[in-house]
Amino acid sequence: MDVAAVSALHDRGEQIGREVLEFGVGIEVDVKEATVYGAFYRLLPVGDEQEAFDDEADFTLGVAWAGTGYSADVSANWLTFPGEEAESSLELAGAVTLDAPYAPTLVGFYDADLEDWGLEIAAGPEWEAGLWTVYALGRAGFVHPGDGSAHRSYGGVEIGASRPAAEFAEFGFFARADVSDEDAFARRINGGEVTAFRSSGISAGISLSLSH
């Protein structure tokens, strides 16, 4: 189970929330050489500006496995938006991480209902500093909307750290900055709507993870 609070939520080169609480819970089972998992994720915008962004609840079923020199993960994600006008959709996603310096990872997705698709590549070092595990991450990618609007290219950097808080608990924090070739980050919010946009954004957050 994961619980997080973030100042702004960025995803694939756009801002999808400001002052957000995130909650996720999942279960996984080893099946031969693979791990099958199911998960539930809930996004809850909070604060005075919450009406400008959608609530979201996602249901995921996936499988992950490791091969020689790589690990992979594929999933089907049912994306829903309780109380919002946005329609639910089925997103198919996959990721491949190479067993190489900085763990380069290629991620792709396709929305079977909206026909959006995109690719992202991310890589970065990780190291130990006492009880802390520290990481730095760079990412770049693009999204091609299915509605025919202009595609979005983006990039970003992130730093963070985590440490055990108890036998089955881990505390973490992060800070990130993202930039896009489209104005996709909120600059001004009035009356529950984003009234001005910009092409970059920063965010920070804290998280608590529990496992058993």
Domain boundaries along the sequence of the chain = 20-210
Task: List pLDDT tens digits, range 120-161.
Answer: 999 999 999 999 999 999 999 999 999 888 899 999 999 999
Q: Are 94 and 108 in contact (CB under 8 A)?
A: yes
Give the pLDDT confidence score for residue 88 in this predicted structure: 96
pLDDT score recorded for residue 83: 85
Q: Which of these, 139, 171, 195, lies nearest to 11 by C-alpha position?
A: 139
Say how far apart CA 176 and CA 39 lie, in whole Å: 25
User: CA 103, CA 112: separation in Å to the nearest integer?
Assistant: 29
Tokens of 51: 């009406």
Q: Please report the pLDDT score of residue 113 as a whole number.
A: 96
pLDDT recorded at residue 169? 97
What is the spatial distance between Cα 185 and Cα 197, in angstroms, rounded to a whole number?
Answer: 5
Q: Tens of pLDDT along the chain (212 residues)? A: 999 999 999 999 999 998 999 999 999 999 999 999 999 999 988 877 788 898 999 999 999 999 999 999 999 999 999 988 889 999 999 999 999 999 999 999 999 999 999 999 999 999 999 999 999 999 999 999 998 888 999 999 999 999 999 999 999 999 999 999 999 999 998 888 899 999 999 999 999 999 98
Specify whether the CB–CB gap between 77 and 60 falls below 8 A.
yes
**What confidence score (pLDDT) does residue 144 get?**
96
- Regarding pTM above 0.95, the answer is no
Return the pLDDT at 205. 97
Helices (H), the chain: none
Q: What is the pLDDT of residue 119?
A: 98
Give dist(CA 160, CA 176) in Å, integer.
9
Q: For 20-210, CATH number? A: 2.40.160
Tokens of 81: 């938006």
Apex CA 71: angle with CA 67 and CA 73, to 5°? 120
The separation between the first and the last C-alpha atoms of the chain, rounded to the nearest angstrom, is 9
